[in-house]
A and B are shown apart, each in its own frame.
Chain A
């Protein structure tokens, strides 16, 4: 599929970078002129995805989180967040609402529920010991001008 614009970055799995990822997304979306709700939804989605990579992927160990943002035709926003952390042994279970593998962190277990609700599609590819790749798409309202 034709990629109209793309932004990639890699940052260490430190919680301060959750805000950096949101800021990068906000800046990337400026030309698309999303509604306030679309922007808030996608900022929440990327925050959940990056937090999952940091909290559950790396569990305090060092590593990098990779972010790829794409603007696709028909005003579709593509977001990919990947880590090379511990991976998810049971993806279906991890996606159940309220399930968390880190109760001591007081995680609500709602990350995947939010990502699913605020996007049009969510794809999870994970293998134990190798890491996790989350891919999400969301079509913005309004008329495409491409």
Chain B
């Protein structure tokens, strides 16, 4: 996982990777929260480009960060989910809490 904060835009970009399940989410949560509380970003972007698997533990991760940022006026963007992760996000109704940006198709 890589975390990058852009001071100009007040955006915190979290590039998740690997498999997000109950086992991995505890560590992800503490690392993301350390950055969230350090910067209190206007926008928190979760990038799923390198995530190969996600179950409802990932939904818990997103919902928990939403509960922190929403009262402060912050927003969450979920970008580049695979088809499978997009299905899980839709099933959980995440479009009500966050903007979902599906990867644009690359024209060869």
What residues of chain A have their CB less than 8 Å away from a CB belonging to chain B? 15-16, 18-19, 22, 36-37, 40-41, 43-44, 47-48, 51, 54-55, 105-111, 113-114, 117
**Interface pair A44/B22, CB less than 8 Å apart:** no
Cβ–Cβ < 8 Å partners of A107 in chain B = 56-57, 60
Q: Using CB atoms and an 8 Å cutoff, list the residues of chain B in contact with chain A.
A: 19, 21-23, 25, 29, 53-57, 59-61, 63-64, 83-84, 88, 91-92
| Interface SS of chain B | helix
Q: A106-B29, A106-B64 are in contact. Are A19 and B92 (CB under 8 A)?
A: no
Q: Which residue of A lies closest to B83 (CB)?
A: A37
Residues of A within 8 A of B84 (CB): 36-37, 40-41, 44
With the chains together, A138 CA to B44 CA distance in Å? 37
The CA-CA distance from A72 to B55 in the complex, in Å, is 26
Q: List 22 A-B contacts (CB under 8 A).
A: A15-B21, A18-B23, A37-B83, A44-B53, A44-B55, A47-B21, A47-B22, A47-B53, A51-B22, A51-B55, A54-B22, A105-B60, A106-B25, A106-B63, A107-B57, A107-B60, A108-B56, A108-B57, A108-B63, A108-B92, A113-B91, A114-B91
